[in-house]
Amino acid sequence: MSNRAFSNLRRLLLGGLLASVVSSILPWSQAIADDAKTLRIGYQKFNSVNILKGTGALEKALAAQGVKVSWHEFAAGPQLLEALSTGAIDLGHAADAPSVFAQAAGKPVVYLAAEQPYPRGIGLVVREQDHITSVQELKGKRVATGRGWNAQYLLAVALQQAGLSYQDVTPAYVNNAADAVAALQSGSVQASTLWDPFLAAAEQQPGLKNLRDGSGLTNNRTFYLSTASFADQHREWLKTFFSELAKVSQWANAKPAEVASLLAPQLGIKPEVLEVASERRNYNAVPITPAIVAEQQKLADTFQGLGLIPHKLNVADAVYPTAVLP
């Protein structure tokens, strides 16, 4: 083969190799670009975020900015906040206690906004056959709860109000509401801490009753959280999110039966259960005020006093300093 022929062959081979490399890189580049323009939202069953997902309104609003939306369901707040802290999602919601535990664990999450108080949305559930009629009677009993749950905080403060301490019960830690209910029904525990809609479902089951809800003990707020780095870079996305959330929240507050009909097929929960839970909830998001920070600080201090958080927290350090609500 002549030098000229060899040179031509080499050019053809190199050209083919480069084309192959480029063609293999382009899909990855496109995937990265698509991911960079996707708002990844974590949610739990039955929340204004869950309702927003069901309407499809956010997808339409963000499409004008060239942004897609992906939704990721979590069993409870601690799992959602773990995903948020590791960068698996960009935005999500969790109750008061999981948010405090995330800060205590050094997770880089920040408070963006809060929901209105929802004290009747958590409860201590017992079996009627056990004839437990007061929180005082939980002394020496086993109680199913989750580490860092909002309902775990209810258990702690309800025991304090009853003149008992957290050490007067034996916590049986579970990972989700279904396991808490199963433990109670089997008799392996004498009480379970639950939150809506699982609480509302338990209240309608024969043989179960809500011994104590959060009224007068805890506001049981839901918080909207992200990371400071994401919020800094995508403030317009967040403003669009909260704008659409406000619209759907106003509708949800006025139409609890329609909320139940929307969510029942998604969640596999009876509409009548969801309607009960929705009627006792105010979905509106509000800014993080000093009073709300003080609520969270009290919660953090309570868990620290129980030895469940090892050190003093300053909740205000985790509040995002720039307003994102419309």
CATH number of the domain residue 279 falls in: 3.40.190.10
pTM of the model: 0.83
Which pair of structure tokens corresponds to residue 27? Answer: 């899909």
**What does the pLDDT profile of the chain (326 residues) look like in tens digits?**
544 443 443 443 344 444 444 344 443 333 334 556 999 999 998 888 999 998 999 999 999 999 999 999 998 899 999 999 999 999 999 999 999 999 999 999 999 999 999 999 999 999 999 999 999 999 999 999 998 899 999 999 999 999 999 999 999 999 999 999 999 999 999 999 999 999 999 999 999 999 999 999 999 999 999 999 999 999 999 999 999 999 999 999 999 999 999 889 888 899 999 999 999 999 999 999 999 999 999 999 999 998 889 999 999 999 999 999 98
Cα 234 from chain centre:
20
Q: What single string gives the DSSP state of each residue in 14-68?
A: HHHHHHHHHHHHHHHHHHHHHHHTEEEEEE-SSSHHHHHHHHTHHHHHHHTTT-E
101 and 189 assigned to the same domain? no
Three-point CA angle 75, 161, 95, nearest 5°? 20
The answer as to whether 324 is a domain residue is no
108 and 240 assigned to the same domain? yes
Q: Name the helix (H) or strand (E) containing 196.
A: none
The answer as to whether 173 is a domain residue is yes
What is the count of structural domains for the chain? 3
- Boundary residue ending a domain (213, 241, 260): 213
The answer as to whether 68 is a domain residue is yes
107 and 227 assigned to the same domain? yes
**Residue 13: domain span:** 1-34
DSSP at 319: B
Which pair of structure tokens corresponds to residue 294? Answer: 């003080």
